[in-house]
Chains A and B, each alone.
Chain A
Amino acid sequence: MVNRVRFAFTEVDPSLGVLSTLPYLPIVLTYQNQSLRVSGLLDTGSSVNVLPYEMGLRLGAVWERQRLSVPLGGNLSKFEARAVVMTANVEQFPPVDLAFAWTQDRNAPLILGHINFFLAFDVCFYRSELAFEVSPKRY
């Protein structure tokens, strides 16, 4: 089995070209048998994973049923967030549980941060090559 996959950075603004490239990872999130193929921003500057409100709804999550409140900092501190655990599939790697701060901010991006994306996967950035590599954590 391939244990490391290389991805290209994604250009966000064509008018800015390489200046606007970010490491978005294609990922399939599953919640209670409902799946969604999305792209998450790999953010080593974030303590937590963040799930945008609409994305949670599309996955069938029910806000009122999430009982753990998550105190986020920064711009997201203005919005309530609750913990929700989803199954994530990256490429052909074994599925992992990812816990998200499900924010009511409808403009938030899907963020993959330290808890717990970077505990489940090792990532190596090659920014000068506009690429990054992802592999499952080594047990």
Chain B
Amino acid sequence: MPFTELVPLLKELSHAEKLLLLHFLVAELLKESGLVPLSDGGTPASQGLHDSFEAASVLARALAEEKIATHG
């Protein structure tokens, strides 16, 4: 479909649908570019267990608390 025909259809979309379309296009562009989207905190979103570093820091804290509880 030519872009000129697409524009009137896009204008008929609701505000929410336009936002969703925008999100879809950004995600498509990032995917095509091989880029990792940023999370709200400005850091790359976690891809899996291999980079669950925040989770690792929570476990380290749990270990430290256990050590204090056991050995004082």
* A and B interact physically: yes
Q: Does A29 contact B (CB under 8 A)?
A: no
Residues of A within 8 A of B47 (CB): 73-74
Interface string of B40-70 (1 = CB under 8 A from A): 0000001111111111101111110011000
Contact status of A99 and B60, CB under 8 A, knowing A73-B55, A81-B55, A85-B66: yes
Residues of A within 8 A of B46 (CB): 71, 73-74, 77
Q: Does A88 contact B (CB under 8 A)?
A: no
Asked if A72 contacts B66 (CB within 8 A), the reply is: no
**Alpha-carbon distance between A30 and B55 when the two chains are bound, in angstroms:** 22
Asked if A116 contacts B52 (CB within 8 A), the reply is: no
Number of residues on chain B facing chain A (CB within 8 A): 19
Minimum C-beta distance from B20 to chain A (A): 21
Asked if B55 contacts A85 (CB within 8 A), the reply is: no
Number of residues on chain A facing chain B (CB within 8 A): 30
Asked if A111 contacts B49 (CB within 8 A), the reply is: yes
Asked if B49 contacts A99 (CB within 8 A), the reply is: no
A99-123 at interface with B (beta carbon < 8 Å): 99-101, 111, 113-116
Residues of B within 8 A of A61 (CB): none
Q: Can you list 8 A-B contacts (CB < 8 A)? A: A45-B48, A47-B50, A48-B56, A48-B59, A68-B58, A72-B49, A72-B55, A73-B46
